Amino acid sequence: MSQISFIQQTGKQLARRLLKEHVRPYKSLFLLACFFMILAAIATAALPYLLQPVFDDVFTSANPKLLITFCGAVLLAFIVKGIASYGESVVMTYVGQKIISDIQNRLFAHLMKSDLAFFHNTTSGELLSRFTNDVNMMRNAMANTIIGLGKDSFTLLFLIGVMFYRDFTLAAIAFIVFPVAILPIAKIGRRMRKVTYNTQEELGGFTTQLTQVFQGIRVVKAYGMEEVEAVRAESMIKKIFKLIYKSARVRSAAHPIVESLGGLAIISVIAYGGWQVMHHDRTTGEFISFIMAMLLVYEPLKRLSNLNANIQEGLAASSRVFMVLDTPPHIIDPKNPIHMERAQGKITFDHVTFRYPDGKEALSDIKFTIEPGQTIALVGSSGAGKSTIINLVPRFYDVTKGNILIDDKNIKNLSLYDLRHQIALVSQEIALFDMSVKDNIAYGTLDASEDEVIKAAKAAAAHDFIKKLPKGYDTFVGENGVKLSGGQRQRLAIARAMLKNAPILLLDEATSALDTDSERQVQSALKVLMKGRTTVMVAHRLSTVVEADIIYVLDHGRVVEKGNHNELLEHKGIYANLWQAQSEA
Query: Could you tell me which of 484, 547, 503, 495 has the C-alpha nearest to residue 525?
Result: 495
What is the predicted pLDDT for the residue at 6? 45
CATH code of 435's domain? 3.40.50.300
* CB-CB contact of 114 with 329 (8 Å): yes
> How many separate domains does the chain show?
2
The stretch 118-145 carries a mean pLDDT of 79
Q: Is residue 288 part of a domain?
A: yes
Amino acid occupying residue 290: F
| Same domain (yes/no): 167, 283 | yes
pLDDT category at 1 given cuts 50, 70, 90 is very low
Pairing of strands 550-555, 534-538: unpaired
What is the predicted pLDDT for the residue at 5? 45
| Same domain (yes/no): 105, 52 | yes
| Same domain (yes/no): 382, 282 | no
The C-alpha atoms of residue 26 and residue 103 are separated, in whole angstroms, by 14
| Same domain (yes/no): 370, 307 | no
What is the predicted pLDDT for the residue at 518? 66
Q: Give one DSSP letter per residue of 403-444, joined into a string.
A: EEEETTEEGGGB-HHHHHHTEEEEESS----SSBHHHHHTTT
Q: Looking at the DSSP assignment, which residues form a beta bridge with residue 404? A: 349
pLDDT category at 392 given cuts 50, 70, 90 is very high
Which is more confidently placed, 389 or 153?
389
What is the predicted pLDDT for the residue at 177? 59
| Same domain (yes/no): 249, 377 | no
The C-alpha atoms of residue 215 and residue 384 are separated, in whole angstroms, by 29
Count of residues in the chain: 585
Q: Is residue 336 part of a domain?
A: no
Task: Name the phi and psi angles at 416, rounded to 5.
Answer: -60, -35
What is the signed CA dihedral for 369, 370, 375, 380, rounded to 10 degrees? Answer: 30
What's the pLDDT tens digit per position in 543-552?
Answer: 888 889 999 9
| Same domain (yes/no): 379, 479 | yes
What is the predicted pLDDT for the residue at 506? 92
Contacts of 121 (CB under 8 A, 6+ apart): none
Choose the weakest-confidence range: 157-166, 172-181, 241-250, 493-502.
172-181
| Same domain (yes/no): 50, 94 | yes
* CB-CB contact of 496 with 443 (8 Å): yes
- Tell me the pLDDT of the chain averaged across its residues: 81
The C-alpha atoms of residue 194 and residue 191 are separated, in whole angstroms, by 5
| Same domain (yes/no): 71, 169 | yes
The stretch 180-207 carries a mean pLDDT of 67
Q: Looking at the DSSP assignment, which residues form a beta bridge with residue 353? A: 401
Pairing of strands 375-380, 534-538: parallel
Q: Is residue 169 part of a domain?
A: yes
What's the pLDDT tens digit per position in 486-508?
Answer: 888 888 888 888 888 899 999 88
pLDDT category at 225 given cuts 50, 70, 90 is confident
Choose the weakest-confidence range: 80-84, 191-195, 209-213, 358-362.
191-195
pLDDT category at 371 given cuts 50, 70, 90 is very high
Q: Which domain holds residue 266?
A: 3-325
Query: Which range has the top average pLDDT, 153-157, 230-234, 388-392?
Result: 388-392
H/E element, 489: helix 486-500
| Same domain (yes/no): 270, 359 | no
Query: Could you tell me which of 18, 582, 40 has the C-alpha nearest to residue 296?
Result: 40
What is the predicted pLDDT for the residue at 10? 54
Task: Name the phi and psi angles at 573, rounded to 5.
Answer: -110, -145
* CB-CB contact of 357 with 517 (8 Å): no
What is the predicted pLDDT for the residue at 215? 67
* CB-CB contact of 525 with 510 (8 Å): no
The C-alpha atoms of residue 111 and residue 269 are separated, in whole angstroms, by 58
| Same domain (yes/no): 310, 352 | no
- Residue 415, pLDDT > 90, answer yes
Q: Is residue 220 part of a domain?
A: yes
* CB-CB contact of 159 with 48 (8 Å): yes
The C-alpha atoms of residue 484 and residue 78 are separated, in whole angstroms, by 63
Q: Is residue 67 part of a domain?
A: yes
| Same domain (yes/no): 385, 511 | yes
The C-alpha atoms of residue 303 and residue 144 are separated, in whole angstroms, by 9
Choose the weakest-confidence range: 147-156, 324-333, 541-550.
147-156
Q: Is residue 389 part of a domain?
A: yes
The stretch 60-74 carries a mean pLDDT of 73
What is the predicted pLDDT for the residue at 3? 45
Query: Could you tell me which of 296, 395, 298, 306 has the C-alpha nearest to residue 43?
Result: 296
Choose the weakest-confidence range: 63-77, 84-98, 113-127, 211-225.
211-225
Order of strands, sheet of 409-410, starting from the edge strand that comes earlier in the sequence: 361-370, 347-355, 401-406, 409-410
| Same domain (yes/no): 433, 472 | yes
CATH code of 23's domain? 1.20.1560.10
Q: Is residue 28 part of a domain?
A: yes
The C-alpha atoms of residue 164 and residue 320 are separated, in whole angstroms, by 44
- Residue 4, pLDDT > 50, answer no
The C-alpha atoms of residue 91 and residue 146 are separated, in whole angstroms, by 11
Q: Is residue 331 part of a domain?
A: no
H/E element, 364: strand 361-370
What's the pLDDT tens digit per position in 300-319?
Answer: 776 776 676 677 777 778 88
